[in-house]
Chain A
Amino acid sequence: MSKHDRDRRHDDGGRSGCEHQATRSRAEGRPGIDAPGMSRRIFIHKSLVFAGAAAGLSAANLWLPLINTVDMAHAQDAGGMSSFRFAWVSDTHLYPENVNTRFVEKAKRAVEEINALDPPVDFVLIGGDVAQLGDPVELQLGKAILDEIKVDKRFIPGEHDWYLDMGKTFVDLFGETPWTFDHKGVRFIGLDSVGHAPDYWSATNMTPEERMGHMAGLDNSVTGPWAGLGKAQREWLQTTLADWPKDDPVVIFSHNPLYEYYPPWNFWIRDWREVQEILREYTNVTNFHGHTHQVLYNEIGTLRSVGMLATAWPWPYAPEGVPAMTTPMTRADPGDHFDGVGWDLMTFADKRAEHEYMMWRQRDHIFARRPEDTTVTKNPTITLQSRYADRMWTGRYRGTD
């Protein structure tokens, strides 16, 4: 990195800190939260650029963090014992190594950078889509890479991990979902939002490879509304939260968003209404999700949602439904496969939780300053058709729970 680049980044950090700020008062729709000054700020934090350098990372590995500060009342913070961090890695979409080395390179880089953190994070959440086509070779490759992480790991599945053998290999390698654990005053919950699709394969006698192939396309329309928790898991969620104080922090991990963003790409779970009803009486719930491969932030009722980065590639924003509270990321350069991707770091301290997008490419502005620099629809009359090839499929969906 040249001196000019360093100077420019520092300058941008300060300037962006003033310009990219969104504040929402609790009066706008956060019933049950009594903490004063409830707000959410997004800013590029100059100090963390220096913190990265202080952590001993090489110049080539420096990133410009995008910080998503989420106010979370933190039950044990007064005692000074609860400060901690965890990292998120997801959507590595690994092919066999001889097919695509880029994705392997990026997954390894995330692991190396997380291992270099000092002090280390308490745990790492792997947010699904380890594999691209659910191939045991891909999942084994993911396990070998992720096994290098030196701290505890927790896994939730993505649809790309699941629909070749209906999750058998994933569960064998990474364990069952859902799960829960309490850590330093926070109840953490991992959900399976992918394994409960209505049966779209039996009616047409699809092979496992065909079933997986349809599922692997984000814009496929054959699979229908595959994302959801299902009745049994919703009941599990309700039971799991029953003994937890209503105002204490809850962090929920899921592959898909727990709200309706853009159903044609399953940027949702189909039973989001029922899930949000379960969560409604808990005043301090944050959901971190993968799948969308983009910067996202939303608040609905008492539920905050943060979209996490992929390591593999960024998706464009959907043609409609981008949450109004999201400050969109700058369009990635398709010629640079490290652009628009990375991993995420959460820090719990001083009664707050800070979320940082650890994007790999330094750039003048991670947040877009102008509509022309995002993939958010700027043309109000742009329309998109669903896939024509999928219309040749004549099967019928079965019922859903």
Chain B
Amino acid sequence: MKIDNTEMMRSRRLMWVGGGTGALALVATLALTGALVTSPASAHKEQHEPEELAVFEQLFMEQVAIGDRLFHGDAELQKEMGISLSNTGMACAMCHPFSRDTNPHEFPKFQQQMSEFATLRDMTNWCIDKPNEGTMIDVDSDAMKALEAYMHWSHKGSVLNAGEH
């Protein structure tokens, strides 16, 4: 398993954003699996231990939880992260319950509203800007990645339908 110190620090930072007891549990799990860290060259050759898979899952679900809260307009979390996704009282989920009709499995594709070949992150920013009248966020920001994680997780099990309009 390849988790270097930088990645672990990053994981801790993201967990702090998410807060809650899950973060403490995750730190403990990471400490247990630290002994399994190996060189980058063997990153994809090692068989995974159940504890490692649990870490991967927890890291992902931490982001899903953050994305879920942002998607549903959590004002406190937006303030913590220094972002403002809406200035109309609208949240993403008000038009997209369960992230319905975001269709992350279809991107990237041509988006008529933007008249361009767009990624899911481009489309997310368009919604923040237009219907929500919020402030667009960096496409590589933690908030954007969390929103993306939530939308993808919400559609888990759907067939990849690349380019579908």
Contacts and interface: CB of A to CB of B under 8 A. Distances in A.
Interface of A: 95, 99-100, 102, 132, 217-219, 264-265, 313-316, 318-319, 331, 333-335, 337, 372, 375, 378-379, 381-389, 392
Given A375-B101, A384-B155, A102 B95 contact: no
A264 B97 CA distance: 10
B95 A319 contact: no
Interface in B98-128: 98-101, 105, 113, 127
Nearest to A387: B68
B98 A385 contact: yes
B92 to A, nearest CB: 11
Nearest to A101: B88
Contact of A385 (B72, B154, B161, B165): B154
A95 B94 CA distance: 14
B153 A385 contact: yes
Given A379-B159, A382-B158, A383-B155, A389 B72 contact: yes
Given A388-B64, A388-B65, A95 B98 contact: no
- Counting chain B residues whose Cβ lies within 8 A of the other chain, the interface size class is 35 or more
Contacts of B72: 217, 387, 389
19 contacts: A95-B89, A218-B93, A219-B93, A313-B94, A316-B97, A316-B100, A319-B98, A334-B131, A372-B164, A381-B157, A382-B159, A383-B158, A384-B100, A385-B98, A385-B153, A386-B98, A387-B72, A388-B153, A389-B65
Which 8 residue pairs are nearest across A and B when measured between Cβ atoms? A219-B97, A316-B101, A383-B157, A381-B159, A389-B68, A384-B98, A382-B158, A218-B97
Contacts of B97: 217-219, 265, 315-316
Given A335-B113, A389-B69, 15 more contacts: A95-B89, A217-B93, A219-B98, A316-B96, A372-B164, A375-B100, A378-B164, A379-B159, A385-B153, A385-B155, A387-B72, A387-B98, A388-B68, A389-B65, A389-B72
Contacts of B131: 334-335, 337
Interface of B: 20, 61, 64-65, 68-69, 72, 88-90, 93-101, 105, 113, 127, 130-131, 150, 153-159, 161, 164-165
Contacts of B20: 392
A217 B98 CA distance: 10
Contacts of A264: 98
A165 B132 CA distance: 28
B130 A379 contact: no
A267 B157 CA distance: 24
B12 to A, nearest CB: 20
Nearest to B157: A383
Contacts of A132: 89
A315 B88 CA distance: 17
A319 B161 contact: no
Nearest to B88: A100
Nearest to A370: B165
Contact of A100 (B61, B90, B157): B90
A218 B72 CA distance: 10
A372 B103 CA distance: 12
A102 B101 contact: no
Contacts of A382: 105, 155, 158-159
Contact of A102 (B61, B88, B155): B88
Contacts of A392: 20
Contacts of B154: 384-385
B157 A334 contact: no
* Most chain A CB inside 10 Å of its own CB: which residue of B72, B153, B157: B72
Given A381-B157, A383-B156, A388-B153, A333 B113 contact: yes
A9 to B, nearest CB: 21
B72 to A, nearest CB: 6
Contacts of B61: 388
